[in-house]
């Protein structure tokens, strides 16, 4: 029990690190005052450019990777890895350092999935592939994130049925994707109304 508690707290704190805000501060801005106001890599990309967007994306993915590997080393069970993944996502979405606000959790969710899907790497690859395809066709990052996430669930379900991955990993991805959809609820409304921003549009300062 002590190990579980330590891993969950540690994973939450790792997930809570707001790398988008940190990178923005290093460039002299508060990213929450620009574009969508989100601290994630998409808003960083629109506001500060591709290089800084990539830095934040990698950092957010690593939060999930580190949390799950920490659980694998200390607890050594799929249940522990699942709990660590959830804690890292919770930290990203409701950061202790941002008054329990945060991002949408896509990159951190993917990061946690990567070590879980090592016996069946296609389960981790399918989401990013669908994401890139949808974004290339539509330039809607939010739509790519949503459809890519759903494809990851379907692929993980197939591999669990083939006895390639543990059922805990399927539970993880189902819950993670449910949270992603919830965090994208405003994007879904804008997609439905045709007002969602597309990739390539600049993130100017938000109106106050």
Return d(Cα 183, Cα 195) in angstroms, integer: 17
Return d(Cα 19, Cα 39) in angstroms, integer: 8
| Higher-pLDDT residue of 14, 203 | 14
Is 200 among the domain residues?
Answer: no
SS3 for the chain is: CHHHHHHHHHHHHHHHCCHHHHHHHHCCCCHHHECCCCCCHHHHHHHHCHHHHHHHHHHHHHHHHHHHHHHHHHCCCHHHHHHHHHHHHHHHHCEHHHCCECCCCHHHHHHHHHHHCCCCCHHHHHHHHHHHHHHHHHCCHHHHHHHHHHHHHHHHHHHHHCCCCCHHHHHHHHHHHHHHHHHCHHHHHHHHHCCCCCCCCCCCECCC
Split into its structural domains, the chain has a count of 1
Per-residue model confidence as pLDDT tens digits over 62-79? 999 999 999 999 999 999
Least confident stretch, 9-13, 37-41, 78-82: 37-41
Is 207 among the domain residues?
Answer: no
β-bridge mates for residue 101, sequence order: 95
Is 206 among the domain residues?
Answer: no
Return d(Cα 60, Cα 173) in angstroms, integer: 17
Is 198 among the domain residues?
Answer: no
Least confident stretch, 72-76, 151-155, 163-167: 163-167
Return d(Cα 161, Cα 177) in angstroms, integer: 19
Is 201 among the domain residues?
Answer: no
Q: Read off φ and ψ for residue 101, nearest 5 degrees.
A: -115, 170
Distances (CA, A) of 134 to 88, 123, 195: 26, 18, 17
Is 86 among the domain residues?
Answer: yes
Residues 93-121 have a mean pLDDT of 92
- Confidence band, pLDDT 50/70/90 cuts, at residue 133: very high
Is 204 among the domain residues?
Answer: no
Find the domain containing 54 and state its range.
2-193
Global pTM value:
0.91
Is 124 among the domain residues?
Answer: yes
Q: What percent of the chain has pLDDT over 70?
A: 96
Return d(Cα 83, Cα 186) in angstroms, integer: 27
């Amino acid at each position: 029990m002590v190990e579980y508690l330590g891993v969950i707290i540690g994973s939450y704190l790792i997930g809570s690190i707001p790398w988008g805000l940190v990178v923005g501060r290093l460039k002299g801005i508060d990213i929450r005052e620009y574009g969508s106001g989100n601290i994630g890599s998409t808003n960083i990309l629109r506001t500060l450019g591709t290089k800084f967007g990539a830095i934040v994306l990698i950092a957010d993915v690593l939060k999930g990777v580190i949390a799950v590997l920490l659980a694998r080393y200390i607890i050594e069970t799929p249940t522990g890895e699942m709990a660590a993944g959830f804690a890292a996502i919770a930290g990203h979405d409701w950061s202790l350092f941002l008054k329990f606000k945060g991002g949408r959790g896509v990159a951190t969710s993917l990061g946690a999935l990567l070590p879980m899907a090592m016996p069946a790497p296609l389960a981790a690859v399918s989401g990013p592939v669908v994401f890139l395809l949808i974004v290339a066709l539509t330039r809607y990052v939010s739509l790519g994130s949503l459809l890519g996430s759903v494809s990851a669930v379907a692929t993980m379900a197939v591999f669990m049925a083939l006895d390639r991955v543990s059922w805990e990993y399927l539970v993880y991805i189902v819950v993670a994707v449910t949270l992603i959809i919830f965090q994208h609820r405003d994007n879904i409304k804008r997609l439905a109304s045709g007002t969602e921003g597309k990739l390539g549009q600049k993130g100017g300062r938000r109106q106050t």
